[in-house]
Amino acid sequence: MSALKEGRAEGGIHEREQTLDWLATLEESSGNLAHAEAYLRERVKVLSEATGPARLNYLTARAALARLLTRAGKLDQGQAILEENIGLYKEVGSGFVLAEPYLDLARHYEARGMFEASASQYRRALSALGDEVSSMRVQALQEYAEVLTQLDRADEAAGLRAQAAHVAEAVKQEVERNRERFLR
């Protein structure tokens, strides 16, 4: 275990970054956010050196670090990472990488009663998702509607709920089409 923690473990980049992620998870579950942060920062560094910044696994590692920073109350640092990811993300092409951390920040702000800040993050998440038909988009729309309700913006919330229902129906239809294709 000591060799793993000190970075002397044998194995490739994938094993190293997975080990760092595992160690960060263990430290966080023990309540040691500072050590978890150090492991996640090392994971980001390892991936940056190995793959470069425009890779999905690198951006995912940065998003994990941003979520941890948010949970640790370092909102500005987490936000800065997310903002940096936007430019890098455009080279990768999947909205889910950025949407999830924005959703994490939105939930963080909502839990603290910071509803305007939360609404802003939901808008960013939905922007990252675009017109994607996905359960993540349905959930984001529903949660955003709840935040708008807290802000006494019931008409906008109702519109988002209707949009969520429409997307949920499209997701259901897509699942059914895929199921039928699978059964053939």
The last residue of a domain, from among 34, 64, 92: 92
Report percent pLDDT > 70 for the chain. 87
The last residue of a domain, from among 69, 92, 115: 92
Residue 120's CB: how many other CB atoms inside 10 A?
16
Report pLDDT for 87: 67
Q: What is the mean pLDDT of residues 121-129?
A: 92
Is residue 107's pLDDT more than 80? Answer: yes
Q: Which of 7-11, 70-74, 149-153, 180-184 has the lowest mean pLDDT?
A: 7-11
Report pLDDT for 101: 73
Give 170's pLDDT tier (boundaries 50, 70, 90). very high
6-30 pLDDT, tens digit per residue, is 444 445 888 999 999 999 999 999 9
User: Domain check: are 57 and 107 in the same one?
Assistant: no
User: Domain check: are 112 and 160 in the same one?
Assistant: yes
Report pLDDT for 81: 87
User: Domain check: are 86 and 8 in the same one?
Assistant: yes
User: Domain check: are 136 and 55 in the same one?
Assistant: no
User: Domain check: are 15 and 69 in the same one?
Assistant: yes
pTM: 0.67
Q: What is the CATH number of the domain that holds 81?
A: 1.25.40.10
Sign of torsion over alpha carbons 76, 79, 81, 86:
negative
User: Domain check: are 98 and 78 in the same one?
Assistant: no
Sequence-distant (≥ 6) Cβ neighbours of residue 115 within 8 angstroms: 109, 147, 150, 151
Tokens 């760092």, located at residue: 20
34-92 pLDDT, tens digit per residue, is 999 999 999 999 999 988 776 778 888 988 998 899 889 898 898 888 778 766 766 66
User: Domain check: are 2 and 85 in the same one?
Assistant: yes
Q: Which of 17-26, 130-139, 150-159 has the lowest mean pLDDT?
A: 130-139
3-state DSSP assignment of residue 2: helix
Residue 104's CB: how many other CB atoms inside 10 A?
21
User: Domain check: are 106 and 164 in the same one?
Assistant: yes
User: Domain check: are 85 and 112 in the same one?
Assistant: no
What range does the domain containing 121 cover?
A: 94-184
User: Domain check: are 27 and 79 in the same one?
Assistant: yes
User: Domain check: are 9 and 61 in the same one?
Assistant: yes
User: Domain check: are 56 and 102 in the same one?
Assistant: no
Amino acid letter for position 168: A
**What is the tally of structural domains in the chain?**
2
Is residue 97's pLDDT more than 80? Answer: no
The last residue of a domain, from among 73, 92, 111: 92
Is residue 98's pLDDT more than 80? Answer: no
